[in-house]
Amino acid sequence: MGPALTPKLHELAESGKISLRQKEFDEHDLSGEFLVIAATDSADVNTHVAQACRKKHVLVNVAAPPGESTFIVPSVVERGGLMIAVSTSGVSPALAKKIRQELEARYDRAYDLFLEKFGSIRKRVMEEVADEQQRRAIFQRIVDSDAIELLRAGKVHEAEQRMDELAGLKHRS
């Protein structure tokens, strides 16, 4: 780690959520480590850390140059069971962030609610409908329906009814 910490890293270190060793890098620092993030302001130091990590079979993510990384950290949108990951393979974190923000606006809380409702209907369909092709057709009809829009409009009961109807199931009140 470089000599200066960002405010967020300082906060994480103060809270004990990350361990902080503020010193020059030494390969012995990798002893017992599983994962390292090399994010100094020096590409040469980051490359040296990455090479040492690879030698010791330690996973490493390198801020710059990103090609030295053995894994990536995507920008993620989570809506309950829905997870959308965006990566530019380290080329442009700013673009990944912009796309993530656009996805967050597009995939709102209605998708979380939809998956919650869909999960219970899916379980019932799996129990009650033996034919796999019929189940797939039911699931596709539900996904293609206006259920998400109904949920977005706050019409939860109507969305549940629509999904049950499309599944050919009796609505549970």
The predicted model gives 61-79 an average pLDDT of 91
So what's the pLDDT on residue 173? 62
So what's the pLDDT on residue 125? 97
Tell if the pTM clears 0.75, that is, is over it.
no
Residue 35 near residue 53 (C-beta atoms within 8 A): no
The predicted model gives 24-33 an average pLDDT of 93
